[in-house]
Amino acid sequence: MNFSVLQFPASNCDQDAVHAVRLLGHSARLVWHKDAALGDTDCVIVPGGFSYGDYLRCGAIARFSPVMQAVKQFADNGGLVLGVCNGFQVLTEAGLLPGALIRNRDLQFHCENIFLKTATNDSPFTSKIPVGKILRVPIAHGEGCYFADEATLAQLKANNQILWQYCDVSGNLADSANPNGALQNIAGICNEQRNVAGLMPHPERACEPLLGSDDGKWIFESIFAALKNKTVAAAA
C-alpha cells in the first residue's frame, strides 16, 4: 500500500509517520504542501507539528495549501485520510471533520503517555484493534481540547463517529484521565462516511517496543486491512 504523508512548513511528525508505515511493511513518501496532486496514493496521513507556525489558529492556514485541495478531493472520492495531532486540527479547520480543537483547559502543553479506549471497531481505523484493548500512546499538544456544539456532539454519537476516548489504565472514562478537557473525553473521531479520521494522540510514535509501546500499530493495521479489503473488492 502507498501512503502519502503531507509535509507543511513546520510539520515535525512527518518522518515519524513515514518510518512507522515502512516499519510495518508498507511504502510511504512525503508530499510537499505546494504539490497540487497526491500521485498514486491509497491513504493520506496529515502529520503532527505546527503547520505554518500555527499562525492565527492551529491548522487554519494549512487548510488553504494546494495539497489540501487534492486531499479534499481524495477524501470526497472515498480515500482514507488520517490526521494526527496538528493533522487532526487541519482536518477540522478544512471542514473534513466536525468540531474544533481549542487550548487545553489547564493552559499547559502536555507531553506524556495516555491511555485510549476504542469506542467502536466499526471503522477502517479501528477494525483490527483487539476488543477491550486499552492503547498506551503518547500525546504532545497544547491545543487538543475537542469542542463541538451540542447538535454536532449528538450527531457524532448517533452515527458512532467517536473512535477513541481518553481513559484510565482500567478503561474508565475518568475526568482525571482527560489531559486537555476534551468534551466526552474525545481523543479522536471520524466523519460520517467513516473514511476520514483524526486523533490528538500519536500512534506513529508507538509502533515498536523500543519506543515504550507498540499499541499504535493497531491503528495502522486497521488501515492496512481496510485497504486490502478495498483492493480485493475492486479486483472482484
Partner 1 sequence: MKAKIIITPKKAVLDPQGKTVQTALEHMGYTGVTGVHIGKYIEIDLAPGTDKAAAQKALNEAAHKLLSNPIIEDFKLEIE
Widest Cα–Cα separation across the chain: 52
Dihedrals phi, psi of 86, to nearest 5 degrees: -60, -30
| The C-alpha cell that represents 208 in the structure block | 515498536
Candidate residues 23, 102, 134, 211; the one interacting with partner 1 per rule CB under 8 A: 102
128 Cβ contact partners less than 8 Å away, ≥ 6 residues apart: 218, 221, 222, 225
Catalytic residue among 43, 167, 190, 204: 204
What is the x/- site pattern for partner 1, positions 123-152, by CB under 8 A? Answer: ----------------------x-xxx---
107 is a site residue for partner 1 (CB under 8 A): yes
Query: What grid cell was written down for 135?
Result: 492503547
- Which residues 160-189 are close enough to bind partner 1 by CB under 8 A? 181
- Computed on alpha carbons and rounded to an integer, the radius of gyration of the chain in Å comes to 16
Q: Is 103 in the site for partner 1 (CB under 8 A)?
A: yes
Active site residue 145: no
66-95 positions binding partner 1, by CB under 8 A: 92-93
Q: What is the distance between the alpha carbons of residues 135 and 117, in angstroms, rounded to a whole number?
A: 7
The catalytic residue positions are 85, 202, 204
Binding residues for partner 1 (CB under 8 A): 56-57, 60, 64, 92-93, 99-100, 102-107, 145, 147-149, 181
